[in-house]
């Protein structure tokens, strides 16, 4: 079961991106004709989700090479700065650069970008199988942010596990947090779940602990934007709170992400750079003030969940139960 959602489409001389800022009320595609257009789309949340960001950036470099091969380095730099926390962005840019150095042609870059896109979908389907195998029959799960086809090359990471479990008849109920302040859960995850008829309900971020205290929840399933060498995981703000609540209530916690999300050069979660965005995202909503004028705000986009709170990390190479530095290195075949 793959998703019917197609958020990233290559159109020969431009990249079409489903504008996730206006979902679920409008399905609008933006046309990106330069690397700068793609970088702006990534920064402005037209496209989001670590795997999708990497895929979009790869196509952005193709656009740069098609327009002016001499602009490649500048395009690489502007794309690298668009969202600093997502390791998939850096991973994709480094992979594209290796191909460019070997053969500096736009056609070579396009073939590599397409491979990155196709491999991500294949990885998601594999992770869906592995993660679904961990769930009991009649599973009730909770998820945070959006980790579906909208955030990836298709199918999804955490939401891919949910899709696969539903296709296997193992899933009874999904609870999706609204995910403040951009409401990716309310706008995007809920939209994907409704598109495919998966039984689901929406709840406020702050209601997760209450729900766990009242309902039997088997697993919390989330994605990741970067995983440190010891298994500490950076993900959308609110993930750490969800993990703490899950531990308190005996709910198992699963992280689902492709192997490109691991950063073995980053020893632990404290070393992961955390992006902070404009205070206006908290003090305003759709341009309307919701806080007193001049109110300051703290707006980190991500937080870090310690490995000790994670029951399993699922990547396309296998499942890491109770992740440790050694277990992470072993599954990635790194000394």
pLDDT in tens, 260-270: 899 999 999 99
pLDDT for 1 beyond 60: no
Give the closest residue to 301 by CA, choosing from 148, 184, 186, 176: 184
Chosen domain end from 69, 96, 123: 123
Domain tally for the chain? 2
Whether residue 31 sits in one domain with residue 145: no
Whether residue 221 sits in one domain with residue 283: yes
> Is 225 among the residues known to form the active site?
yes
Domain that holds residue 22: 8-123
pLDDT tens digits for range 234-255: 999 999 999 999 999 999 999 9
Chosen domain end from 123, 142, 162: 123
Whether residue 293 sits in one domain with residue 252: yes
Whether residue 72 sits in one domain with residue 34: yes
User: Which residues, at least 6 apart from 153, have a Cβ–Cβ distance to it below 8 Å?
Assistant: 8, 51, 52, 55, 116, 117, 118, 119, 120, 121, 124
pLDDT tens digits for range 10-69: 999 999 999 999 999 999 999 999 999 999 999 999 998 888 999 999 999 999 999 999
At residue 86 the predicted structure's pLDDT band, cuts being 50, 70 and 90, is confident
Whether residue 291 sits in one domain with residue 164: yes
Whether residue 201 sits in one domain with residue 97: no
Strands of the 8-10 sheet, one edge to the other: 8-10, 15-18, 29-32
Whether residue 260 sits in one domain with residue 152: yes
The count of residues in the chain is 335
Residue 61's H or E segment, with its range, is helix 50-67
pLDDT for 280 beyond 80: yes
Asked if residue 82 belongs to a domain, the reply is yes
Chosen domain end from 71, 94, 123: 123
205, 218, 225, 232: the catalytic one is 225
Asked if residue 252 belongs to a domain, the reply is yes
Rg (CA), the chain: 19
| pLDDT value, residue 129 | 98
Whether residue 21 sits in one domain with residue 117: yes
């Amino acid at each position: 079961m793959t998703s019917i959602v197609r958020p990233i489409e290559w159109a020969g001389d431009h990249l079409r991106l489903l504008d996730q800022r206006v979902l679920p009320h409008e399905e609008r595609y933006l046309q990106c004709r330069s690397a700068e257009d793609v970088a702006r789309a990534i920064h402005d949340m037209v496209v989001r989700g670590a795997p999708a960001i990497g895929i979009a950036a790869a196509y952005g470099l193709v656009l740069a090479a098609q327009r002016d091969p001499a602009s490649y380095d500048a395009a690489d730099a502007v794309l690298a700065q668009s969202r600093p926390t997502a390791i998939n962005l850096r991973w994709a840019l480094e992979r594209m650069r290796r191909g460019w150095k070997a053969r500096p042609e736009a056609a070579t870059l396009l073939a590599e970008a397409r491979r990155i896109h196709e491999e991500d979908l294949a990885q998601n389907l594999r992770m869906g199988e592995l993660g679904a195998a961990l769930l009991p029959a009649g599973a009730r799960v909770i998820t945070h942010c959006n980790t579906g086809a909208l955030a990836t090359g298709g199918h999804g990471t955490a939401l891919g596990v949910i899709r696969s479990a539903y296709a296997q008849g193992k899933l009874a109920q999904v609870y999706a947090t609204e995910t403040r302040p951009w409401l990716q859960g309310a706008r995007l995850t809920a939209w994907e779940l409704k598109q495919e008829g998966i039984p689901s309900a929406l709840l406020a971020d702050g209601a997760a602990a209450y729900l766990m205290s009242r309902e039997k929840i088997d697993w919390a399933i989330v994605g990741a934007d970067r995983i440190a060498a010891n298994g500490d995981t950076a993900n959308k703000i609110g993930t750490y709170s969800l993990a703490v609540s899950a531990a308190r209530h005996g709910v198992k916690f699963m992280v689902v992400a492709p192997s490109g999300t691991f950063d073995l050069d980053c020893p632990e979660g404290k070393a992961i750079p955390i992006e902070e965005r404009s205070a206006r995202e908290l003090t305003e909503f759709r341009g309307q003030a919701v806080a007193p004028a001049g109110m300051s705000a703290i707006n980190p986009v991500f937080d870090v969940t310690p490995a000790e709170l994670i029951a399993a990390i699922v990547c396309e190479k296998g499942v890491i139960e109770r992740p440790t530095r050694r277990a992470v290195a072993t599954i990635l075949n790194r000394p």
